[in-house]
């Protein structure tokens, strides 16, 4: 489950086994005290916490914010966070743009973002995972998306947070086969998954929103991903239009059902 401020009271009141872990964005919590800080501390004592960054701008042109990374490391250490991830995109240049913008799929971009990922890992003192981003235009390309992601993972020696909804959205919008795309990704580097809802603007245009229930086609793709790459920790992303917690927990339950169904297949596939 995502740890969102709008859900704090419901998460605090939820049964201990309602979800397996919580994910938060350190960017929104570093330095927060008072009632909100106390709630975060209580939840991180009760449940494992993972962190997903929003504003590091790994692919951006401006130097990395070393002070922010240092404070992020303190946050991760204080809350005993095992996994930190960020987006394989950029979002700032002399100021935050509040949008995750696509990177060119070029060898030059691979070298640029991989160097920044390595610097981030050095400062944080841990491996990180980068998330495949949704995108609606490609600035430039001398390779395809899967080739770009693989090149970055290899050059940076980092892990992948595989967003299954983003794979589905990009496959529809850019006309490629989602399962063929998944087959090209390295199982050994996949640290976790995200799954979320999207908006159907048109048959051939999907918008990644995180503001509605997960679609049936994305559930099917998640099941295929488990069978192909194995079960990993999986986050249900919901950023607005929050329904009652019971409805979100029903989706968490669907994740658990797919994971349980995939375990025998995964065990057989890996011997």
Residue-level pLDDT, tens digit, the chain, 271 residues: 999 999 999 999 999 899 999 999 999 999 999 999 999 999 999 999 999 999 899 999 999 999 999 999 999 999 999 899 999 998 867 666 557 889 999 999 999 999 999 999 999 999 999 999 999 999 999 999 999 999 999 999 999 999 999 999 999 999 999 999 999 999 999 999 999 999 989 999 988 998 999 999 999 999 999 999 999 999 999 999 999 999 999 999 999 999 999 976 544 454 3
- Which pLDDT score, from 0 to 100, does residue 95 have? 64
Q: What is the total residue count of the chain?
A: 271
Please give the Cα distance from 249 to 255 (Å, whole number).
10
Structural domain boundaries in the chain: 5-262
Backbone Cα Rg of the chain: 18
- Which pLDDT score, from 0 to 100, does residue 268 have? 47
Token pair recorded at residue 13: 């009141």
Residue listed under structure tokens 């995964």: 266
What is the number of other CB atoms lying within 10 angstroms of the CB of residue 2? 21
Look at residue 78 and give its three-state secondary structure: helix
Token pair recorded at residue 262: 């995939």
Q: Find the DSSP H helices in 47-163.
A: 66-78, 107-124, 145-156
Report the relative pairing of strands 90-92 and 96-101 from DSSP bridges.
Answer: antiparallel
- Which pLDDT score, from 0 to 100, does residue 96 have? 64
Phi, psi of 198 (to 5 degrees): -140, 170
Please give the Cα distance from 138 to 136 (Å, whole number).
7
Please give the Cα distance from 185 to 180 (Å, whole number).
9
**Helix-strand-coil percent breakdown of the chain, rounded to 5?**
45, 20, 35
Report the relative pairing of strands 129-131 and 159-163 from DSSP bridges.
Answer: parallel
- Which pLDDT score, from 0 to 100, does residue 101 have? 86
In terms of CATH architecture, what is 5-262? Alpha-Beta Barrel (3.20)
Please state, in angstroms and as integers, the Cα–Cα distance from residue 9 to each residue in 13, 180, 210, following that order: 6, 42, 21
- Which pLDDT score, from 0 to 100, does residue 90 have? 87
């Amino acid at each position: 489950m995502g740890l969102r401020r709008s859900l704090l009271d419901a998460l605090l009141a939820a049964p201990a086994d309602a979800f397996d872990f919580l994910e938060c964005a350190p960017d929104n919590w570093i330095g927060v005290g008072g009632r909100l800080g106390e709630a975060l501390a209580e939840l991180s004592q009760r449940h494992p916490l993972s962190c997903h960054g929003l504003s590091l701008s790994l692919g951006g042109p401006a130097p990395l914010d070393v002070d922010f990374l240092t404070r992020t490391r303190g946050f991760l250490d204080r809350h005993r966070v095992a996994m930190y991830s960020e987006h394989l995109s950029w979002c700032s240049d002399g100021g935050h743009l509040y949008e995750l913008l696509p990177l060119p799929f070029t060898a030059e971009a691979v070298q640029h973002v991989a160097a920044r990922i390595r610097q981030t890992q050095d400062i944080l003192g841990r491996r990180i995972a980068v998330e495949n981003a949704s995108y609606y235009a490609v600035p430039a390309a001398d390779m395809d998306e899967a080739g770009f992601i693989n090149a970055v993972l290899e050059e940076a020696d980092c892990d992948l947070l595989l967003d299954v909804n983003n794979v589905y959205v990009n496959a529809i919008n850019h006309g490629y086969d989602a399962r063929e795309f998944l087959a090209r990704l390295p199982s050994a580097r996949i640290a976790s998954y995200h799954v979320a809802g999207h908006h159907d603007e048109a048959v051939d245009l999907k918008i990644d929103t995180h503001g509605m229930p997960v679609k049936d086609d994305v559930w099917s793709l998640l099941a295929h991903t488990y069978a192909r790459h194995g079960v990993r920790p999986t986050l249900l992303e919901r950023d607005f239009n929050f329904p009652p917690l019971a409805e979100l927990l029903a989706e968490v339950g669907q994740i658990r059902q797919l994971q349980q169904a995939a375990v025998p297949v995964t065990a057989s596939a890996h011997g």
